Amino acid sequence: MEKEEWYLEYEIVVNRPGLLGDISSLLGMLSINIVTINGVETMRRGLLIKCEKQQQIERLESILNTIENIRVTKLRRPTLRDRLAVRHGRYIHREKDDKKTFRFVRAEIGILVDFMAELFKKNEHKLIGIRGMPRVGKTESIVAASVCANKRWVFVSSTLLKQTIRSQLLEDEYYNDHLYIIDGVVSSKRAPEKHWQLVREIMRMQAVKVVEHPDIFVRHSEYTLDDFDYIIELRNDHDEEITYDVVDQQLSTDSGFGFSAFDF
C-alpha cells in the first residue's frame, strides 16, 4: 500500500528537554515516517509525515491529545501553505476577508518565488494577479518562479526590457505548459483590438496566466477580479500602500505610453 502524506502541527505549551525526541519516538512506534520537520512561527513545530493507514493518524491524534506539554493545532492532508510553512519556517500571510489574496514584502521574495513556482507547475487554467508599486520586483519574481517551475514564459504585454504589446504568437508559443505574462497597464493603454483578441484567446487556454496590475486590467476589459484564482500583493514594507494615481492620470489624459518613465 502506498504511503500518504499528512501535516502535523503542534504548539509547545511546556518546552521541556527531550520533547521533540518523545514525539519522534511516538511516530516511530506507530510506524509513521517523518518527511520534514521545522519550527513554524513562534513556539510551534510543523511536520510532514507519511503513513499507510488513516487509523494510524487517528491513533496518533488520540495519544497526542493526552500529552500536556503540547497542543495539536493541525492534523490534516497538507495544503500548499502547510508545505511552504515547513520549508520556510513560517506561514505566508493570507487576507482574512479574501482567502485568495496573499501578501508579501520584498524581504520575502524567496518565499514568494517558491509559492508562485508551486502554482505554476500544473498545466491547467489558472489566472493569477500580482499587485505592487514600481521596482518592487513583480516581473522578476514571476520570471524566477517560472524558472523554478521549469516553465517557458511568454510576454504578451510588458515593459521589462522594452515596451511589448503582442498581437499574435508564434506557432511554438501555443502550448499549455507555457506561462503567459500580461501587464495590465500596458494592455490598457492604446493596445489595438488585435492585442485584446490575443488576450481573450490566451485566457481560454488551459495554461497559467499572470496579470500584473490586475485592478487596471479589469477596469479596461470584460474580466473581473472574481475571474482570478489568486491575487498576490508585493510591497517594499508592510505599511506601503499600493496606489495607481500616476497610472490613472496617464490613462485619463491619454498622453501616450510613457510607462518607462514610471518603471512599469
Neighbours of 188 (CB within 10 A): 20
Per-residue CA distances from 31 to 4, 54, 194, 198, 256 (Å): 13, 12, 60, 54, 67
Is there a shared CATH topology between the 4-86 domain and the 92-241 domain?
no
| Assigned architecture for domain 4-86 | 2-Layer Sandwich (3.30)
| Assigned architecture for domain 92-241 | 3-Layer(aba) Sandwich (3.40)
Q: Write the pLDDT tens digit of every residue in 227-241.
A: 999 999 999 999 999
Q: Write the pLDDT tens digit of every residue in 82-102.
A: 999 999 999 998 887 788 999
Question: What is the C-alpha separation between 143 and 257, in angstroms, rounded?
Answer: 24
Q: Write the pLDDT tens digit of every residue in 109-145.
A: 999 999 999 999 988 999 999 999 988 999 999 999 9
Locate 86 and state its grid cell: 515547513
H or E segment to which residue 215 belongs = helix 214-219
Q: Give the domain ranges of the chain.
A: 4-86, 92-241
Per-residue CA distances from 125 to 100, 120, 207, 216 (Å): 16, 10, 5, 21
